Every structure is written in structure tokens, then in C-alpha cells.
Structure 1
Amino acid sequence: EEQLAGRRVSAMILAPTDDGRGKPVAVGTPVPAADEVRLSIPAADLPVGDYEVAVQVVSAEGVTEYAAETPLRKLPPAPGGHEWRFDENNVLLHNGEPFLPFGWFSYNFGQHTAEDPYTAMQEYNSQYRMVEENLERMDQIGAKGLYVAIYPYGRGFMNTGDVVKQPLTDEEAAVLRERVTGMRDHEALLAWYMADEPELRPVLPRRAEQIYEVARDADPYHPCIMLNDSIAGIHSYTGGGDILMPDPYPLFLQGKLAARGIERTSEFIKACVEASGGRKAVWVTPQAFNYGDYGRDENRAPNLVELRNQCYQAAVYGAKGFLWYTYSQASNYPSLGIGMHFLCREALDLQDAVLAPDAEDAVTVEADQPAHMHVAVRRAGDQLYIIAVSTATEPQQATIKLAGLPARLHVVSEGRSVDTAGAAISDRFDTYATHIYTTDAALEGRPALAEAEQRIAEADAARRKPGNVAFEDGGATVEVSSGARYGNTPSRVLDGIEVGMGWRADQSARGEQWLAVGWPQEQTVGRVVVYSTDVLGIRVEAPGAAEGEWRAVAEATGEGRLETTFDPLTASSLRIVVTAVADGTAGAAIQEVEVYVQ
């Protein structure tokens, strides 16, 4: 403070001049020097063009002791009529209005209806498509009222070989600029997806920054997203985008809680704020999938309480966008399909609170495990919101103290209220529980969390069909002739869900393609039902007399649902051989198999 005493900080905007010195065209009011200062420069009347912002530290004697300049560009209105930018609180604005991105990676937008609440999505396969193909795809997305984040480049820029370890060449920059220019004006474009976990390859950080700089300059009207899966990666690639959007998956275990700790979410969000000095927007890609479907044994999908915890835990620390990974599993897990519907609607109802900056109110928290209580106080208009999230692995009691509390607060989505006596909220937090307290009476009638959980429980129970000996909890196993690299999760054919994930054969595999269901003990079986989007014909086989031999017992043809009955037999396995597939499909694929006595 002594070193800064008497000094002042001034700032101005300079227009370019022939002598290179610049002409002041807007000047801010100087302020006393401090460790951190905020200056305002009137710029509304500046013409469109390129400028410099010049900042000076001047001594009490009028001597300039420090000076710095940075480029500034004032843009014309967005040519496509869709301007995306951030306000001073890192809230995304669409044509000046606050926008909450909430949606999925790889969303099946073709099935999107007016009943679906999602606002945004990410398209992985955009990097494999030509510009014209992406434009056609965005036409379809825009027709559904959605906005999409896509890659600005083709696959070779970030995903292949040693090229990712080299700086961007002039030739690559030209190709990238042309591609961005060809897609930038589409009305469905939300953002450019710059990289997916680049630290795992690893991508040269400077290359990621160069790609961002080219995309940003070619299209200044859409933000750029950087996704990382480690705190070290967040710090290494901060310069690669306008939005830092980590994927801090907690990894939920069967019969247990999060393997990594569900507080991993807030750790990553805080790292984003730290790495960017709070100057970049922070979104998040939380876990809405079962890692077990990617080969990690003993994993499971998160339940609604865990989805809600991840969402609001991130919001407490400043996340203002939510793109969940991944929609491809939503059909097979009611907690995802039903739960995410509920959570998205709730988050949109709470948009003002989620997007608001932290209030200046001083809040204190007393709890059994205070390190596992995450609390934010937000004010929007005349309404108060208190978001409280527990990451403890057991229930805990917490008291949240805030001066001047109303006597009673509504608890969002819980159908109850709490008395505060004007000073504190005392409440129980079950394991991983989230409570949101508010004065907003408009939220009192919204759907209850308990009702959504009941619908999920009913949908889970309905997966088990009476008499189906091929259901997943009866010890049945699956063996297949081949498996595609992507979209192949054979164990899902036993989950009681007739759509979504399942077995997909390797399209290049030779010979007959088949799926076999086996049991630890012999079963008496006489009817098989197969659900498939691609298969038109099957042959059911049972083990023959010799080891490795199979004999045909039935055949079936049909579309969507193929059913066949045969004289009941006793066997420890059955094999379903694909005999016909629909034209134009990617080969054999089965979503569900049911086996009955009759």
C-alpha cells in the first residue's frame, strides 16, 4: 500500500494514427492505485473498428511509471442476427438476453419435442463432416429450437498422430479459417467446441491456443469451449477458449457412492476460476452415464440425487452452463431419462439464481462436516435464493446463518418450508442432498423431487417382465461374435429396455453374426423375443450334442420386434443368429433379448 500511495490509474481508448502513437477517443475517470482496480471507459458511441486500450500508472508528480496496451475491436451487429457474448458476470447473452445452456452431448435431436426442456447440445461427429453436411445438420437442430456446439475443424487438427504436438501452420490456419467462415452464420450455432480432453494425447497447449485465436478472429460472435478432464489440464489449456468446461466425473459404484468423491465437481470448477482469474466463463460437463458401459466393472449410473448434487454444486462455485455426458445412455437408465428431464426444468425455473453473481451477504455455515457443505447466496430482483449442497458420504445437520432472513423460506421442489427466526436455517441433509431455499413464491408449486424419484422407481421396476429369465439380475451373461468400436454395449440387451443401447456387430466382421445368452444353471425355455432397429430375421440355436456344436430350434422374421416359440427345452445357453438386416443399416444390432419358458 505504501508503494501505491499517491499514485493513480488511468485508462483510455486509442484510435490508430499514421505515426503509431494513437489518438485518444474515449477516456475513463482515473482512480487511486490499488492491488486491483476497476475502471470504466465510455465506449458506446465508438465507430466500428480496431482500437487499443491503454492503461497507465501515474505518480503523484505526474510521471508515468507503468503503461500497457491491449487490442480492442468494436464489432458491427452479428451478420446472422444471432449474437452470443458474455456480460461482466460471465453470463452468456443471446442477442442481449441471458441464456442458460442446459442439455446433452450427442443429443438425439430428431426425437426432441416441445415437451423436452433442453436448450443446448454438443455434436461430436461434426469433426467428421464436411461444411455442407454440418450446415444441413444444423438446419435440423435449429428447426427443433435448439442450439449446438460443434468442432471448428476436421478430425486431423486435434485427434491424430504427432500433428497435435506441433504449432499450427499457416496452411492449417487458412483451412481452419475457411471452415469456420463457412459455418459461423448459422442460426443454430451456439459455440465452437475447441478440444475434448486435449491433455490425454497430449496436444501442444500453444497449438490449442492458436486454433482458438483463428476461430475467435474468424467468428467473434460465438464463444469457444475448452473441455479438460484434469485440474492440471485446466491450467495448461486455459488460453484455448472463452469457456472452461471440465468433465469431473465422480465415477459412481454399484451399491456404493462416488469412487472419486462427488466433491470432485466443485474442485474442478474452483480450478477453472483460479486458472482464469475469474475472467472466463465456466460451464461443466457432469456425469450422466454409467462408466460400466465403457468397460469399468462395478460402476453404475448416477441417481437423481447425485445428478442434482453435481448440477448445483457446480452452480455454487460459478458454473453457468451444463452440457451433460451423454445422451446415448438416457434411454436405458430411468434415473437419466426421467431424472434429467426433471433437473433441466428445475434449473431453468431457477435460471435467475443460477446465473446471478454471489450476493454480498455474509453467510456462515455450521455443520457436522463443514468442509462438505457448499453454500451460495444469490439475489435476483427482489428474490433471495440460498443454494446448499452436501457432499458428505453420510447424513449431516447444518445451520446456515444469514442476517435479515425472512421468517420463512420455501424449499424448492420439496413441498415444504423452513422457519428461520430471521437469523438461520437449520436443516438435515441426507447423503449428497441438495436444498434450495427461496422467497420466490412462484416456485412453490413446481413438481416435487419425491414425485420424480417415484416415477424413476416405477420405471425401474417395470423393466423386469414376469417370466423373463434373461433379465440382468438373474445371472445371465452375454457373448457375441464381434463388436463394433462404437455403440456396442452387449450387456444392455438384458436390462429390460427395448430401445437405446445394446449389441452392435463389427460391420467388417465376416461370417454369421450372433449373440448368445448363457446362465449359470440350465433353464427351461420355449420362447424368445428380440428387439432391434436393424435386424429383420433371426435363427435361435441351442447347444448340440458335441462341444461347440449348435442346432437350430426356431426362426423368426419381422421388423422392430421378432418373436418365436418352440417346444420347451433345457439348456444353459441360447444363440441368436442374425439372418437378415434392413437395407442401409450399419449391420447387425440388437437392443434387447427376452427369454421365457413359453
Structure 2
Amino acid sequence: RSIRYRLTDAKTNTLLALGGEKVNLTCAPLALRLLAPWYRDTIFASAPIDTIEATVTVHGSAARIEATLTRGDALLARQSVQATPGQPAAVRLPAKGLAPGEYTLRVARADGSAAAMKTIRVLPRKQGEVCLDRQGRLLVDGKPWFAWGFFCSSPTERLAKAGFNTVVTYIGYYIHRDKDMKAWLDNCQRLGIRAAMYPYMGEVGVHVNKKRKRFTDKELERTAQFVRLYKDHPAILGWYLCDEPRGTVFREEMKRVRDVVSAEDPHHPCIVLDNSGRGVAGLADAGEVLWVDPYPGFAKDGPPRLPMETVSIAMDDMIQGTGDRLRHFWSCPQAFNWGAWGGEKAKTERAPTYEEERTMTYLSIIHGAQGVVYFAWKYALKEPHLSEGFLTRLGPEMTDLMPELRDGKDVPDVVAETVPADSKIHLRAFRRGDRLTIVAVNPGPNEVAARIRAPGLAGSFDVISEKRTVTTKAGVLADTFPPYGTHVYRSR
């Protein structure tokens, strides 16, 4: 078929371009979409389901569809449904009590003219297994997990005491090697900290494969071997595949790595990171945890070099760019000084202030971050105002908010009127039980007065970490925000 297109200016309707090309279109006579299990087509022991759910869509003519669940030659369940062309027909088959192993879900037209199949895995129970629930939350042993931690950190008593629960390393193998790596993971487990690691034995540094764009079969086998060594350790959170990967070919290779890693270890997700939302969305087929590190940069004796909303824009781009694929989203705020590596930047750059760090953190959460893991503890330690701020202020504060972050339900239609009118306040509200929590951020360099409204807003609110209370009037919470300021309100 020939496809023609026209590009016009949306405001003036001016024609900008005409074009066309020939394309081959194929229409499957029958399409199968698996809805449950929803993650890796796999049922986890810590997140069991009672029913396999799917939809079947037929094209052409109406049909009677026969759906079956089998294991080997054994027929375990059957269902017959009527399907109308173009309209998804629901399939539901029992899954409760299925033993570990592989099963086949098959749907076919009753006349035998078309069929489709899916392989469903049931995994044996494993301590520390990690998966996603239907809402994209990370589950560790079946319980929601909000990752909160650092790159480039060993598990320490101080971090654990401050509430941090996650560390990420891409150099763990080089530092610890075999026996010491096991001891490092044992220490993570002792402290209640989970670790994400590079699965490589030397092939990959930062950004690229050190020797070539594509992995050899031997390199991929070495990757599988590394995963095999540590996959059963209960401190493993996931496998960190790439750090801002450079080059189209190498980025595509991440899909091959993901296939190797997930085949060797189906109990833990793959994690990918890039420094733009669109960039990491482009890696969505290579990992289940998508992670973005948009660094504003901070001028010495000056403001952020890029707007603070660089963080929220990146989060929005990442989530929206992923489409309807089930993924989990992390933010990696800047917790370092670009001048830490010396050179001219040592004269022109600074680390974020504590207030700026807090604002980047909450901007991320407002815009959908389900985990916040900073770069990097090694460099935050060089900035006492940051390291102590994390340990004594933000750590305890976030620990206090963890129940809302893990289990809170989003409250829609939370809005703010601002003075000046062209300023912004970013908002997100959670309800957990009878408690309402509102997170509000001023991303700009000027003071802003705001009047916040939310459904059912009433009563008094504690302002977290500020030792003050605000009281609503006529359904409005009024407050003032300093430049780059954040307020977290919790109903009393």
C-alpha cells in the first residue's frame, strides 16, 4: 500500500511538507494479549495469582475461540469464547496452585484456521525475589519497595540507620572479586540494604563496551557466569545493565544482554539508565526498571545552570515515552559537584545546596519516581552539607514518608493558584488510610505564594521537618514558598 502524509503548522495551517512511501501491511487473523501474569509472563511465588487473564482479538469474521492451558501433553484448563472482529474477547483460566514449570496458553479459532500461543512460567520460591506488581510497583518478597539510596556506596551502618535501603555499583567486581563480593553482599543483607550490580566481568566500563560495539558470545557467557555466581544472594535487587550507553549499536546490544541476564536469573529485574527521559525510554525493551539522571549543574556563587524543572521534564518524558509497557521508574538526582574531578570546572561549579537537593528529590517523586537513587555517595561525602543533610535530615524525613510512598493512593485534582500568577507549584497528594499527604515544590528562583486546593481538603496539617502547622480555610491551604523551596504537608 502507498501511505501519504502532510505536515502542517498547527497554528497557521500552513503546509510545510508532503511525502509518501510504500509499506507492507500484515494483519494477523488472531492476536493474543496476556494480561495476567503481567510481568515477564511469569508467576512469582511471592506474588501469586489465581487466574490467568488474556484477551483475544480476531480479524476478518466472527469466530468461536478455544482457549487451553497445558503443561506438556496434559490439558489443565479449557474455555470457549465468542469473538467479534476487532473487539477483544476475555479469556480467564484458573492458575491457583500451579506447580513450578512452563505452561502453554493457546488460543485458536474453532475451525483451526488460526492460533496463537504464549509460554507462561511459574517460578519456585526464592528468598529476595523481585518483581513488578500490576501497577508497576517494585515488590521484594511480595512487599512494596521504594528504592532510596546511592550509587558508589558501600553498605554502612550510618546509611542504614538513616533509612537508606539501596546501593548501586558498576565497579563491584573490580573492587571485591569473588570472596570479598560475597562478604559485601552479606553486609548488605545484614543491614537491610539491597544491591544492584553490573553483571559484567570487565567487558563494560562507563558508557561503552571497552573493546567493541557488539558483545561476543564469549562475553555474553561471561555475563551469564557472573549472574550465576550471585543471583541466589538475597541482597540482590537487580542487574544494572548500562550507564548512559553511547552509540546506537551498543544501545541495541542491551536487549541481548537483558535476554541473557533474565534467562539466567528470572527472579530479578534488569535496570537501565540514561541522562534524558527520551533516552531511557528508548531502552525500555532492555530493562524493567528505567532510571534517569538529569543533572541541572550548579554555578559557583550562582543559581542552577539548567532549570530545576529539568528533573521533572525528564521524569515526564521517560514515563510518557514508555507508553503502555509495564515499567518501574527511578530518578537519579545530582548529589555531587561537577568540579570534583578538577580542571576548570573546579573554579566554576558547586554542589547543590541541601534545599536544592531536597527539591530535586521531591520534584522526582511528584512526577512519578518510584525510587530515588542518587549519584553519588562517594562525592556527597566531599560536601559535608550534603552528606550530613542526607544522614540527619532528608534520610529520616523520607523514612517517615515511606508508608505513603510505598502504599499511598494518588489523590487527583490537586491544584494551586500562585502569586505571581506566572509562577508554578508542582503538586502530588497521597492518601493512606485517613491520612492525606501533600508534596509541593517551587522549582523557580523567586518566592511564590500559593493557595492549594484538593478534594476534601480540611483541617490542620503538620509541615514535615519545619516544626509548624498550617490550617485550611474554606478548603484552601495557603502558604509561601522560598526560591527552590519544598513543603510536605501531612494531615493531623
Aligned partner (choices 57, 63, 69) of residue 14 of structure 1: 69
Residue type at the aligned position of 2:153: Y
1:176 aligns with 2:227: no
Alignment length (residue pairs): 422
Question: Which residue matches 1:396?
Answer: 448
- Distance in structure 1 (CA, Å) of the matches to 2:85 and 2:450: 42
- 3-state SS of paired residue (1:300): coil
Q: Residue 321 of structure 2 corresponds to which residue in structure 1? A: 275
What aligned pairs does 1:293-442 form with structure 2 within 5 A after superposition?
293-295=340-342, 296=345, 297-341=347-391, 342-356=393-407, 359-367=410-418, 368=420, 372-439=424-491, 441=492
Mapped contact 2:160–2:192 kept (Cα < 8 A): no
Name the CA shift for 1:432/1:44 in 2 (closer, same or farther; >3 Å).
Answer: farther
Task: Note the alpha carbon deviations across 1:353-404, whole angstroms, 9 max, x for none.
Answer: 2234653532233223567322112112222111111212211122222231
Find 2:233's aligned residue among 166, 172, 186: 186
| Corresponding residue number in structure 1 for 2:125 | 77
* Counterpart selection for 2:184 from 121, 137, 145: 137
- Compared with structure 1, are the counterparts of its residues 161 and 183 closer, same or farther at alpha carbon in structure 2 (3 Å cutoff)? closer
Q: Match of 1:249? A: 295
Q: Does residue 1:217 correspond to 2:263, yes or no?
A: yes
1:189: how far off? 1.6
RMSD over equivalenced CA pairs, Å: 3.4
Deviation at 1:52, TM superposition (A): 4.4
Q: What is the distance in 2 between the residues matched to 1:422 and 1:88? A: 38
1:15 maps to amino acid:
T
Identity %: 27
Q: Deviations over 1:3-55 (max 9, x none)?
A: xxxxx98466732555xxx9573769999999999987653332222234568
TM-score normalised according to structure 2 size: 0.76
Q: Does structure 2 conserve the Cα–Cα contact (< 8 Å) formed by 1:165 and 1:203?
A: yes
Aligned match of 2:25:
none
Distance in 2 (CA, whole Å) between partners of 1:411 and 1:348 is 15
SS in 2 for 1:283: strand
* Aligned CA distance change for structure 1 residues 16 and 405 (closer, same or farther; 3 Å): same
Letter in 2 for 1:372: K
Alpha-carbon offset, residue 327 of structure 1 = 1.2
Look up the SS of the partner of 2:369 in the other structure.
coil
1:411 partner amino acid: V
Per-residue CA deviations over 1:274-324 (Å, capped at 9, x if unaligned) read: 232262000111111111112424211111211111111111122111211
Task: Choose from 134, 138, 151 the match for 1:92.
Answer: 138
Q: Which moved more, 1:281-290 or 1:118-127?
A: 118-127
User: Which structure 2 residue ranges, 5 or more long, are not aligned?
Assistant: 1-31, 33-53, 57-66
Structure 1 spans left out of the alignment, 5+ residues: 1-7, 442-598
- Residue by residue, what CA displacement relative to the aligned partner does 1:433-464 show, whole Å, maximum 9, x if unpaired? 1111222x4xxxxxxxxxxxxxxxxxxxxxxx
Following TM superposition, by how much is the alpha carbon of 1:156 offset from its aligned partner in structure 2, in angstroms?
0.9
User: Is the Cα–Cα contact under 8 Å of residues 253 and 299 in structure 1 kept in the other structure?
Assistant: yes
- TM-score by length of structure 1 reads 0.63
Judge conservation of contact 1:26–1:42 (CA < 8 Å) in 2.
no
44 and 380 in structure 1: CA distance in 2 versus 1, 3 angstrom threshold: farther
Match of 1:301, SS?
coil
**1:70 offset after TM fit, Å?**
4.0
Measured after TM superposition, the shift of residue 330 of structure 1 is 2.9
Give, in angstroms, the shift of residue 227 of structure 1: 1.0
* 1-structure distance, mates of 2:348, 2:194: 35
Which structure has the higher relative contact order (CA within 8 Å, separation 6+)? 2
SS of the residue 2:381 aligns to: helix
Q: Is the 8 Å Cα contact of residues 290 and 300 (structure 1) preserved in structure 2?
A: yes
Max Rg structure: 1
Distance 1:408 1:193, change over 3 A: same
